[in-house]
Amino acid sequence: MKLLREYIRTLISEGYEFRDLDSPLKYARAPNVIRIALCDTSETEPAKKRDSYFTPQQEWEYYGRSGRRLKKPRKGEMTPGVSDVCVVGFLDYHMKGENYYYIDYLKTREDRRGRKFASMLIDEFFNRFAGPDVTVHFGKMMRKEVGYLKDKMAEKYPDTSVIGAKNF
């Protein structure tokens, strides 16, 4: 049964590859954030227009510094999208010391949810960095699904300290 599961997993993950990139997002907690991107090589369609962090989005300012409403809105901050259409999910992380990893953000494309992409990203992350005397901090978890992944990894890697704050 276990051999069959492994075979099915290899078949499912044949068209996927992981890429290491610098994160284009700015985080207040660390300037050196690294991104693990999951790329579906068969993907040719770009993400939907309003899919945060997968398509570039222009923010608009409607109020000035004094708090008064502007006559004409002005362009605000530009949120970058992913660099390639094949990216279906990403995990941003940074190191806080020698054996301490902090997961800043985990996101999958809205139109590709439910296909275990977040689980594949977390598995890849733990395959790279998990071990004795290693701490992985999931940060502020805003969704139940991420809390489930944290609990799953804590059970799968008992020698790795897995922590995080549940905010759901």
In 55-145, the DSSP E strands lie at: 57-63, 69-79, 87-95, 100-108, 135-141
pLDDT in tens, the chain (168 residues): 667 666 666 555 567 889 888 888 888 888 889 999 998 888 777 777 777 888 888 889 999 999 999 999 999 888 887 777 788 899 999 998 889 999 999 999 888 788 889 999 999 999 999 889 999 999 889 989 899 999 999 999 999 999 998 887
114: left (phi over 0), alpha (psi -120 to 50) or beta: left
Domains of the chain (ranges plus CATH)? 16-54+83-166 (3.40.630.30)
Can you tell me the distance from the alpha carbon of 53 to that of 47, in angstroms, rounded to the nearest whole number? 10
**Is the whole-model pTM more than 0.75?**
yes
Burial class (CB in 10 A: 0-12, 13-18, 19+), 26: exposed
